[in-house]
C-alpha cells in the first residue's frame, strides 16, 4: 500500500467534508453517520453499498466525501472497498464537525497499522485510533498489579481474561487524562468497554465450551457470574443511545445468560429483548439478534421469530429483508444464481432442476473447509456416486480465478466427481452468497 492521506474537513456547522488522497488500493469509500440521539442499526451496515453514503475513489485513490446537514457531534464509521472487499478504517468514532484532520497511511501492512493523524482537533482522533490499536494489538499497554486482578480461577487465568481488565484500565486512564468534553469522554469510555469485553471476554468465553464437559461448563459459568457481579446492570447505561459495538456485546451477553438458564434458550433471549427494549429500539435490536443467529435458530423457532418481527417492524427496508429471510428454509425455493465452471460455462438454477443438489461453499485456505470435505462431503459423495439424480456442487468464493483453479487441482476441497463453480470473482458480494446470508465457511 502506498503512502496515503485522508483529510477530514468541516467547512461549517452543517457540512462535513472528507478529502481522500493516495488510497490507490481502494475503489470506493462508504460512510455511515449515527446521530447521538438515535439507536445504532446493523441494517445500515448490511445495506451500505445500496443505501449508504458512497463516494468513488478515482486514479491515485483520490475522492471527496461531503456529508450535508450533520449535527455538531456524531458517530462516524468509514469503510474502504477494494474489489468488493470491505476494510474498516474508522469504526464508531466520536466526531466534532468543526474539526479538520489529516490521516496519513505510512505503508500499512495490516488493518491500517501505520496511520498518523494531524490537523485541527486531531488529538481526539489520534486517541481513538490509539484506543482501537489497543484492542487490535497494534499498541502495547501495561500489565497492572496483581492487586487489581479480576478473574482469580485457574480456568480464567488459563485463558488470560485479565487481559481485558488491563485493557479497560488503560483505556480509562488514557481517556480520563484528556480535557475533552464530558459527553465525548462518556461515549468513548462506554464504547471501548464494549469493544474490549466483546473481543477478549465474551467471544472467547463462548468459544471455550466443550461438549459434555460439565466441569468446563461450571468453570465458564463461574467466570461469567464474576463478571456480572462486578458490573451487573451497570454494563448498560440508562438513557444513552448506543453503537453497533454495544449491540454485539448485548447479544453475546444474553446468549451466555440463556445458556445457563433452565428456560428454552430462544424464548429466554426473545423475552429479554422485549423486557430491555421498546418501540424502534426493540425493532433494531431484535433484527440484530436475528441477523446474527439466523442459522443457529432452526425450523419453527426461526419462523416464529420472523413472524413476530414482521408484526412489530415499521421500517419498509427491514420488512423487505425479513421477507427475504422468510424465503430461506426447508421447503422454500432455492434462489436463482449465475455461477461459472472451470471451462467458463455459466450455470443457473434451471440447469439443475429435477436433481437433488448438495451445495458446499468454501474458500481456498480454509482449514475447516478441508476437514469438512474430507470427513463429511467426500463420504456423502461416495455414498451417492452412482445415483445420477444426486448432484454435489462445490462453490468457491475465491476472488482470484487462478487461486480457485489450483485449489480444485489439489482435490483438498472437492472431488473430481463434483460440479465445481465459482462466484466470478465477487466473493462474499455475489448475489447468491448475500441472498443465503452466508457469513461463515464451510457452509
State which of 331, 346, 378 marks the end of a domain: 331
Q: Are 359 and 404 in the same domain? A: yes
Same domain as 421, residue 404: yes
d(CA 402, CA 393): 19
22 and 95 share one domain:
yes
Q: Which H or E run includes 164?
A: helix 162-176
Asked whether residue 353 falls in the same domain as residue 409, the answer is yes
Is residue 248 a part of any domain in this protein?
no
Residue 272 near residue 256, CB atoms below 8 Å: no
Q: Are residues 347 and 413 in the same domain?
A: yes
Report the CATH number at residue 66: 2.60.40.10
Q: Cell numbers 454435489 correspond to what residue?
A: 392
CA distance 398 to 342: 13
Does one domain contain both 301 and 356? no
Tell which phi-psi region holds residue 41, choosing left (phi > 0), alpha (psi between -120 and 50) or beta: beta
Both 45 and 105 in one domain: the answer is yes
- The two beta strands, 73-82 and 4-12, are unpaired
Number of domains in the chain: 3
Hey, is 105 helix, strand or coil? Answer: strand
The pLDDT of residue 4 is: 45
On whether residue 217 sits in a domain, the answer given is no
The answer to whether 377 touches 392, Cβ cutoff 8 Å, is yes
Q: Does any domain span residue 270?
A: yes
How many CB atoms are closer than 10 A to CB 374? 12
Domain shared by 103 and 17, yes or no: yes
Residue 89's nearest CA partner among 60, 121, 61 is 61
**Is 153 within the bounds of a domain?**
no
In a domain, 81, yes or no: yes
From 118, 133, 153, give the residue that closes a domain: 118
- The predicted pLDDT at position 11 comes to 39
**What is the rounded distance in angstroms from the CA atom of residue 309 to the CA atom of residue 290?**
9
CA distance 175 to 313: 38
Per DSSP, the three-state class of 23 is coil
The whole-angstrom separation of Cα 127 and Cα 32 is 20
C-beta pairs of 192-196 under 8 Å, 24+ apart in sequence? 192/131, 192/135, 192/168, 193/168, 193/235, 194/242, 194/243, 194/245, 194/246, 194/248, 194/249, 195/132, 195/135, 195/245, 196/134, 196/135, 196/164, 196/167, 196/168, 196/171
Separation between Cα atoms, residue 26 and residue 87, nearest integer Å: 9
CA–CA gap between residue 166 and residue 176 (Å, rounded): 15
Long-range Cβ contacts of 407-410 (<8 Å, 24+ apart): 407/364, 408/342
Residue 139 CA, chain-centre distance (Å), reads 22
What is the rounded distance in angstroms from the CA atom of residue 129 to the CA atom of residue 347? 46
Looking only at the bridges linking them, the beta strands covering 4-12 and 53-56 are unpaired
Predicted pLDDT at 406: 95
Strand order in the sheet with 100-105: 63-68, 15-21, 4-12, 100-105, 115-120
How much is the pLDDT for 18? 76
Please enumerate in sequence order all residues whose Cβ is within 8 A of that of 252, keeping only pairs 6 or more positions apart, or say none.
198, 202, 203, 206
Q: What is the pLDDT of residues 202-235, one digit of tens each?
A: 999 999 999 889 999 999 999 999 898 888 665 6
DSSP assignment of 330-370, as one string? TTSPPPP-EEE-TTS-EEEGGGGTTSEEEEEEE-TT-HHHH
Are 51 and 80 contained in the same domain?
yes
Pairing between strand 390-396 and 356-362? parallel
- Look up the domain containing 281 and give its range: 261-331
CATH of the domain at 389: 3.40.30.10
Which stretches in the chain have pLDDT values below 50?
A: 1-4, 10-13
Given this model, what pLDDT does residue 232 score? 67
Given this model, what pLDDT does residue 257 score? 94
Within a domain: 281: yes
Together in a domain, 322 and 414: no
Domain C-terminal end among 98, 118, 138: 118
Task: Give the N- to C-terminal CA distance of the chain in Å, as an integer.
Answer: 32
Q: 405 and 376, same structural domain?
A: yes
270 and 318 assigned to the same domain: yes
56-90 tens-digit pLDDT = 988 877 888 888 888 999 999 999 998 778 899 99
User: CA-CA distances (angstroms) from residue 365 to 275, 344, 397, 403, 441?
Assistant: 43, 23, 11, 10, 11
In-domain check, residue 206:
no
Say what angle helices 299-312 and 316-326 make with each other, to 10 degrees.
160
* Predicted pLDDT of residue 431: 87
397 assigned to some structural domain: yes
Amino acid at each position: 500500500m502506498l503512502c496515503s492521506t485522508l483529510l477530514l474537513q468541516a467547512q461549517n456547522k452543517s457540512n462535513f467534508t472528507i478529502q481522500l488522497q493516495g488510497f490507490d488500493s481502494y475503489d470506493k469509500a462508504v460512510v455511515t453517520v449515527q446521530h447521538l440521539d438515535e439507536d445504532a442499526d446493523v441494517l445500515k451496515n448490511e445495506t451500505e453499498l445500496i443505501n449508504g453514503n458512497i463516494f468513488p475513489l478515482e486514479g491515485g485513490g483520490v475522492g471527496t466525501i461531503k456529508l450535508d446537514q450533520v449535527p455538531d457531534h456524531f458517530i462516524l464509521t468509514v469503510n474502504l472497498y477494494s474489489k468488493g472487499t470491505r476494510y474498516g478504517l474508522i469504526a464508531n468514532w466520536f466526531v466534532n464537525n468543526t474539526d479538520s484532520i489529516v490521516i496519513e497511511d505510512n505503508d500499512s501492512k495490516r488493518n491500517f497499522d501505520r496511520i498518523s493523524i494531524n490537523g485541527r482537533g486531531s488529538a481526539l482522533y489520534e486517541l481513538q485510533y490509539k484506543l482501537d490499536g489497543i484492542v487490535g494489538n497494534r499498541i502495547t499497554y501495561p500489565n497492572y498489579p496483581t492487586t487489581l486482578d479480576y478473574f482469580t480461577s485457574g480456568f480464567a487465568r488459563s485463558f488470560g481474561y485479565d487481559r481485558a481488565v488491563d485493557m479497560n484500565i488503560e483505556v480509562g486512564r488514557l481517556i480520563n487524562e484528556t480535557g475533552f468534553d464530558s459527553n465525548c469522554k462518556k461515549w468513548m469510555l462506554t464504547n471501548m468497554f464494549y469493544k474490549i469485553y466483546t473481543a477478549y471476554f465474551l467471544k472467547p468465553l463462548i468459544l471455550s465450551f466443550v461438549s459434555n464437559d460439565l466441569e468446563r461448563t461450571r468453570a465458564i459459568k463461574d467466570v461469567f457470574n464474576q463478571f456480572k457481579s462486578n458490573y451487573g446492570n451497570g454494563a448498560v447505561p440508562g438513557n444513552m443511545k448506543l453503537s453497533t459495538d454495544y449491540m454485539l456485546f448485548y447479544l453475546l451477553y444474553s446468549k451466555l445468560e440463556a445458556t445457563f438458564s433452565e428456560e428454552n434458550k430462544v424464548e429466554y433471549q426473545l423475552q429479554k429483548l422485549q423486557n430491555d427494549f421498546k418501540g424502534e429500539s426493540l425493532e433494531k435490536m431484535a433484527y440484530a439478534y436475528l441477523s446474527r443467529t439466523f442459522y443457529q435458530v432452526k425450523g419453527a423457532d426461526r419462523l416464529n421469530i420472523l413472524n413476530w418481527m414482521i408484526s412489530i417492524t415499521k421500517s419498509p427496508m427491514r420488512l423487505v429483508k425479513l421477507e427475504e429471510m422468510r424465503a430461506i428454509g426447508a421447503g422454500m425455493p432455492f434462489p436463482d444464481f449465475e455461477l461459472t465452471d472451470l471451462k467458463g460455462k455459466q450455470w443457473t438454477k434451471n440447469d439443475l432442476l429435477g436433481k437433488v443438489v448438495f451445495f458446499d461453499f468454501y474458500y481456498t485456505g480454509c482449514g475447516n473447509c478441508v476437514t469438512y470435505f474430507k470427513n463429511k462431503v467426500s463420504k456423502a459423495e461416495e455414498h451417492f456416486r452412482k445415483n445420477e439424480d444426486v448432484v454435489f456442487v462445490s462453490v468457491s468464493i475465491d476472488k482470484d480465478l487462478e487461486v480457485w483453479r489450483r485449489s480444485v487441482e489439489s482435490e483438498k476441497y472437492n472431488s473430481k466427481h463434483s460440479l465445481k463453480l465459482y462466484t466470478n470473482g465477487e466473493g462474499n458480494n455475489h448475489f447468491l452468497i448475500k441472498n443465503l446470508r452466508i457469513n461463515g465457511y464451510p457452509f
